[in-house]
Amino acid sequence: MAVLLSLLNFKDAEAQKKEKPNVIIIYTDDQGTLDLGCYGAKDLATPNIDRIARDGIRFTQGYVAASLCAPSRASLLTGKTPLDAGVDGNVSSMEGHAGMPASEYTMAEMMRDVGYATGHVGKWHLGYTKETMPNGQGFDYSFGHMGGCIDNYSHFFYWSGPNRHDLWRNGKEVFYDGQFFGDLMVDEVNNFVKQNRKKPFFMYWAINMPHYPYQPTEKWRKHYKDMPMPRRDYAAFVSTLDERIGKVLDYLEKAGLRENTIVIFQSDHGHSAEVRAFNGGGWSGPYRGAKTSLFEGGIRVPTIISWPAKLAKGETRDQMTVNTDWMPTLASLCDIDLPEAGRVGKDISPVLFDKTAQSPHDRFHWELGAQWAVREGDWKLVGNPKDPTAPESLDEEKDRLFLVNLADDISEKKNLASARPDIVGRLKKVHLELGVAKDMPDAKVREPKKHLAYSVPVESATPPSRKYAGMSGKWTLTDGILAFPNTGDKAWQGYEASDLEATFDLGEIKKVDEMRIGFLADYEQWVFPPKSVQVEISEDGKSYKTFGKTLKTDTEAPRSIKRVNIPLKGKARYMRIRIESQKLCPKWHKGSGNPAWMFVDEIELE
């Protein structure tokens, strides 16, 4: 209250004389596709976010580039795909672990470079080292938690690891025991506005709600008390956050700053269907999927921008836009010169000023874990789709490629992949062209198998490709980890149109019975077993005995692991391996004549 009173003193010309508009991006957490009154929710009280829509422009096809927290935030702040921004999944929530590389040029840096005061309040989840925390990424000021979620009263991060406190101001741990984080954030945002009213300011307010734990205030708990769980607590938490946004909007109005402040509202992705969130609570209406899914329910989110001084009020836009667009769009609106630098985000300001303008996106490509998606016009192809709200509704084999036309099937119910191989082919080509990791890692934790060659150091080896499958380019063939039959598994080591030669030293002479090597066959992904495998063993490193096998390409199991056994029955210390790849896709294959992949794992020695 004291703050409000003192504010009235400067509600004046001072605030208006700045040239550039202020910017506040409100980025909520796990808020479902349609979970706002202005998006059609009949059971939610969200008067304040609805007020932003009334004062601005609401998008019906607003997307995020990832349906997971950290990658979504990375893409928002860089305008790049999450993978291009170096964030291929959730980063660690533990202190000392890096996240998005500090070398990324962020929206905050862009704003700061032209004189904006830059502030972050709320969740970060993009790195927990000095360099990758907010002050290292362009924010002058930061207050909030570094991990993926917190208890709103103790500000502790809970998971299976240490139960630890996680609240920071400019890199220094601060304690506000028992104080509601929602209210602390309001104070922080308003204070930042107050402090920086004389120069243009940029505030990234990453509200950690309605992400679990669902902790609404007493007022909203009572308001929704007759609703069934888990919608009850979720809804009350949405209204709790809405009310707090109202307190910031009120403050801007009272300070006379609202007119020239661009307020952007967006959710980081669809609602959570996790067990920690009682398996749900959010609502995506006709849209399939939720958080983690690349169906619409995971990536299509409430998206609003308002700028009373310059933009239309109470309008909607049906053009496609993505969270990556905010950075170039803000550059345009704030008259900042932003050089192109590998960003997929586009300036959507033409659409803002002209409702008939075309979306700058004729297509978009998503990639998250093993999932990927391409939308081109109304066609959308999802690879390895996930639907966390109904995992059993997808057939792992038949639906591995899932094609729909959104104009006919907004709920992405009917897979047209087999009916329209032409469209599948076209969109898949886009994926192969735009995808960085194409397919992705399988995070399952495996116990290393401690065979004779386990952890043996490699003396020399053909370097593996880094092009496919989130591949690290590291040698993983003697790490004891057996790969799964899935190109996304990092345990595979990939070679494109290249043979593999390696030599290693067992350290001492050992009795060796057999060598076993695994190869992936995944013809759909242009991955083929080798032509031949040859092993030479030696006790002294001088005279070698040679063993080998030639393979036939078996077309019967188009997605499987082929293991090649080579009996050795001898003694060895030094070993040379030569694996001859197919190099080109075979004649019968649709990729005939194009480079073929070879995926290898593991070289087991018994």
Near a copy of itself by CB under 8 A: residue from 19, 218, 422, 433: 218
Closest-CA residue to 469 (of 494, 445, 432, 446): 494
Q: Minimum CB separation from a copy of itself for residue 537, in Å?
A: 24
Q: How many other C-beta atoms are found inside a 10 Å radius of the C-beta of residue 306?
A: 25
Closest-CA residue to 133 (of 167, 165, 157): 167
| Length in residues, the chain | 606
Nearer to a copy of itself, 10 or 153 (CB): 153
What DSSP string runs through 368-436?
Answer: ETTEEEEEETTEEEEES---TT-GGGS-TTTTSEEEEETTT-TT--S--TTT-HHHHHHHHHHHHHH-S
Q: Taking CB under 8 A as the rule, which mask of x and - marks residues 374-393 in contact with a copy of itself?
A: --------------x--x--
Nearer to a copy of itself, 302 or 388 (CB): 388
Q: Which residues of 379-418 are buried (b: 16+ CB within 10 A; e: fewer)?
A: bbbbbbbbbbbeeeebeeeebbbbbbbbeebbbbeebbbe
Q: For 478-515, give the secondary structure using H, E and C.
A: CCCCCCCCCCCCCCCEEEECCCEEEEEEEEEEEEEEEE
Nearer to a copy of itself, 199 or 276 (CB): 276
Query: Distance between CA 412 and CA 364 in Å, rounded?
Result: 17
Q: Minimum CB separation from a copy of itself for residue 331, in Å?
A: 39
Near a copy of itself by CB under 8 A: residue from 413, 414, 429, 466: 466
Strands 172-173 and 201-206: unpaired
Please report whether residue 275 would count as binding a copy of itself according to CB under 8 A. Answer: yes
In the range 109-168, which residues lie near a copy of itself by CB under 8 A?
151-154, 156, 158, 160-164
Q: Taking CB under 8 A as the rule, which mask of x and - marks residues 8-37 in contact with a copy of itself?
A: ------------------------------
Nearer to a copy of itself, 82 or 388 (CB): 388
In the range 91-110, which residues lie near a copy of itself by CB under 8 A?
none
Q: Minimum CB separation from a copy of itself for residue 136, in Å?
A: 24
Nearer to a copy of itself, 60 or 179 (CB): 179
Per CB under 8 A, the segment of 213-221, 285-293, 326-334, 426-434 that binds a copy of itself is 213-221
Q: Taking CB under 8 A as the rule, which mask of x and - marks residues 566-595 in contact with a copy of itself?
A: ------------------x-----xxxxx-
Please report whether residue 547 would count as binding a copy of itself according to CB under 8 A. Answer: no
Report the chain's C-alpha Rg in angstroms: 27
- Three-state SS for 171? coil
Please report whether residue 226 would count as binding a copy of itself according to CB under 8 A. Answer: no
Q: Which residues of 60-78 are buried (b: 16+ CB within 10 A; e: fewer)?
A: ebbbbbbbbbbbbbbbbbb
Q: Minimum CB separation from a copy of itself for residue 178, in Å?
A: 4
Please report whether residue 447 would count as binding a copy of itself according to CB under 8 A. Answer: yes
Near a copy of itself by CB under 8 A: residue from 198, 276, 355, 429: 276
Q: Minimum CB separation from a copy of itself for residue 606, in Å?
A: 12
What DSSP string runs through 16-38?
Answer: HT-SSPEEEEEEESS--TT-SGG
Nearer to a copy of itself, 277 or 320 (CB): 277
Query: Distance between CA 220 and CA 237 in Å, rounded?
Result: 7
465 φ, ψ (degrees, to nearest 5): -70, 150
Q: Minimum CB separation from a copy of itself for residue 343, in Å?
A: 35
Query: Distance between CA 606 and CA 599 in Å, rounded?
Result: 22
Please report whether residue 324 would count as binding a copy of itself according to CB under 8 A. Answer: no
Please report whether residue 178 would count as binding a copy of itself according to CB under 8 A. Answer: yes
In the range 288-317, which residues lie near a copy of itself by CB under 8 A?
none
Please report whether residue 524 would count as binding a copy of itself according to CB under 8 A. Answer: no
CB–CB of 315/57 below 8 Å? yes
Nearer to a copy of itself, 269 or 428 (CB): 269
- Three-state SS for 8? helix
Strand partners, 595: 584
Angstrom distances, CA of residue 216 to CA of 124, 149, 185, 210? 21, 15, 15, 9
- The binding site for a copy of itself (CB under 8 A) comprises 151-154, 156, 158, 160-164, 175, 177-180, 212-215, 217-218, 221, 230, 273, 275-279, 388, 391, 447, 449, 463, 466, 473, 584, 590-594
